[in-house]
């Protein structure tokens, strides 16, 4: 990759060192704790599935049974019940849904429990490995057939079967990535609904069956188009690890999976979120899933010019947390957005500076670039121009994942024809300037270069401040996105558990970074 900004490598290295300092105390906290969502995810990865007659998932029933006994991990009790009864996970799940209590069984020999638990874990991890191999084989088979950057479209009907129709239509129109938007506020549910769903507001419930249905449909489109169609959903909210587990089992390819988004924008407790994000990212790393982070959201509440440095700082912090969880740089779809006020003089140059800077600092990351939303007014003609400029900036700076800008943004959820027009816009602009990025350089004393150097300097100053007082303290003070979140408040705090000396989770052990 051609470096055009002349950013000092010493400053970039310093920022990464600061990210280590900032995240280390948080990682120490994470490693000493588990959560109810982590335990539910682990249960799902040894065979727990299904729901009772009221729709309560079996994984939630088990956790409710084990309140006060989770310091050692939930799997010990589930595997123990399998050993004591000689039943399969499928049969045991039915019994639990019908009221069977795991605590009725005295604990068997720990070595026997660990042997059985490891056996079950290996079965499900083998399925995830098989999914990863299948994806890699298909990407190799269809190599060169996807757009660069990948063109990312959303579907959000509320009905998974209608989503399938819209997703397949988008794939035929040229989309490389389909994101199934979750129904409004699902991130605040502390359980995962069971089965296929046909009702949702602003999106469709994320369930394992819905994942399976969409994956099957997009695989058919992939074969017909001879282009791999990536499937995306949201490993975020109060069920972050569980969604990651379900995505790994059903071969999703990307997951929105930020380290701080839920704290800032959904008021989920920071302790809970930090613990959940690590285990969810460990699963994504093992499954070969690309994560998408949420820095674009900062610019919905903060000014994109004044607070650009907080976006870059968050990218450094997200990168550090991702590395700690075992994710490779090629799996880090670090986020940012085209959200500068269009009335600012040279705003486009500032935007190019930010995008090029991210590209040069994170050269292996498939950067996820978000379109204009904050300053879309409902004027569709101006919107087309704004999206064309966004498409231009994305291709010029070699972004990796390009979320389509919609001319009807700020009016309604996109129709299929809106998506088609957005794809036509992106393909036209990007095809006509395919090699422009390698043809041009930037003036050393020009607006773009000066802007990038300034933002990097401000980022280091900001990260030094965060390192001096701590990440959690900084979030309490509103350092990110101008939003203040107390550490001892927020949703889900009651699901935080300090690990006991006998804590056992064979999934965590098997997928941990060696």
Q: Which one, of 180, 169, 359, lies nearest residue 255 by Cα?
A: 180
CA distance 354 to 505: 41
Question: Of 234, 261, 286, 369, which one is the catalytic site residue?
Answer: 261
Residues 6+ apart with CB under 8 A from 309: 455, 458, 459, 461, 462
- The pair phi, psi for residue 292, each rounded to 5°, is -115, 125
Residues 6+ apart with CB under 8 A from 78: 43, 46, 48, 62, 92, 102
Query: What are the residue ranges of helices labelled H in 142-195?
Result: 160-173
Question: Of 4, 368, 395, 491, which one is the catalytic site residue?
Answer: 368
The answer to whether the beta carbons of residues 151 and 402 sit under 8 Å apart is yes
Annotated active-site residue 498? The verdict is no
498 burial level (CB within 10 Å; 0-12, 13-18, 19+): exposed
Question: Of 163, 190, 258, 296, which one is the catalytic site residue?
Answer: 296
Instruction: Report helix angle 308-324 to 9-31, nearest 10.
Output: 60
Pairing mode of beta strands 496-498, 33-35: antiparallel
The answer to whether the beta carbons of residues 274 and 30 sit under 8 Å apart is yes
Annotated active-site residue 220? The verdict is no
DSSP string of 55-94? --BHHHHHHHHTTT-GGG-SHHHHHHHHHHH---HHHHHH
Annotated active-site residue 261? The verdict is yes
The answer to whether the beta carbons of residues 465 and 479 sit under 8 Å apart is yes
Active-site residue numbers?
261, 296, 368
């Amino acid at each position: 990759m051609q470096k055009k900004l002349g950013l000092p490598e010493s400053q970039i290295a310093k920022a990464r060192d600061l990210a280590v300092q900032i995240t280390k105390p948080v990682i120490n906290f994470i490693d000493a704790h588990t959560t109810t969502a982590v335990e539910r995810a682990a249960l799902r990865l040894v065979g727990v599935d299904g729901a009772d007659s009221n729709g309560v998932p079996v994984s939630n029933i088990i956790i409710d049974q084990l309140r006060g006994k989770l310091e050692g991990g939930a799997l010990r009790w589930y595997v123990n019940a399998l050993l004591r009864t000689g039943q399969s996970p499928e049969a045991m799940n039915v019994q639990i849904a019908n009221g069977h209590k795991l605590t009725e069984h005295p604990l068997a020999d720990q070595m026997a429990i660990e042997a059985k638990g490891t056996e079950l874990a290996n079965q499900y991890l083998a399925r995830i490995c098989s999914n990863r191999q299948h994806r890699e084989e298909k990407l190799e088979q269809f190599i060169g057939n996807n757009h660069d950057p990948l063109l990312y479209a959303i579907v959000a009907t509320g009905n998974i079967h209608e989503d399938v129709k819209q997703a397949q239509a988008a794939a035929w129109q040229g989309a490389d990535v389909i994101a199934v938007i979750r129904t409004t506020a699902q991130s605040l549910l502390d359980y995962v609904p069971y089965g296929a769903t046909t009702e949702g507001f602003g999106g469709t419930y994320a369930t394992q069956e819905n994942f399976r249905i969409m994956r099957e449909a997009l695989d058919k489109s992939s074969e017909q188009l001879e282009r791999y169609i990536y499937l995306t959903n949201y490993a975020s909210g109060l069920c972050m690890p569980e969604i990651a587990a379900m995505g790994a089992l059903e071969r999703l390819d990307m997951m929105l999976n930020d380290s701080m988004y839920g704290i800032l924008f959904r008021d989920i407790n920071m302790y809970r979120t930090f613990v959940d994000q690590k285990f969810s990212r460990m699963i994504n790393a093992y499954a070969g899933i690309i994560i998408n982070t949420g820095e674009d959201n900062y610019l919905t509440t903060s000014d994109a010019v004044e607070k650009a440095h907080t976006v870059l700082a968050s990218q450094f912090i997200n990168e550090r947390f991702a590395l700690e969880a075992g994710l490779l740089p090629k799996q880090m779809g670090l986020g940012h957005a085209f959200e500068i006020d269009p009335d600012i003089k040279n705003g486009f140059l500032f935007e190019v500076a930010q995008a090029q800077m991210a590209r040069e600092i994170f050269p292996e990351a498939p950067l996820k670039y978000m379109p204009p939303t904050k300053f879309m007014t409902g004027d569709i003609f101006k919107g087309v121009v704004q999206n064309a400029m966004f498409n231009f900036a994305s291709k010029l700076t070699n972004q990796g994942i390009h979320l389509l800008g919609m001319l009807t943004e700020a009016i309604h959820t996109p129709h299929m024809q809106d998506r088609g027009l957005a794809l036509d816009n992106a393909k036209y602009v990007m095809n006509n300037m395919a090699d422009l990025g390698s043809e041009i350089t930037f003036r050393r004393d020009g607006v773009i270069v000066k802007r990038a150097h300034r933002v990097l300097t401000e980022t280091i100053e900001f990260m030094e401040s965060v390192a001096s007082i701590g990440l959690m303290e900084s979030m309490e003070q509103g350092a990110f996105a101008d939003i203040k979140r107390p550490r001892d408040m927020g949703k889900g705090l009651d699901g935080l558990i300090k690990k006991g000396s006998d804590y056992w989770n064979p999934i965590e052990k098997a997928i941990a970074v060696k």
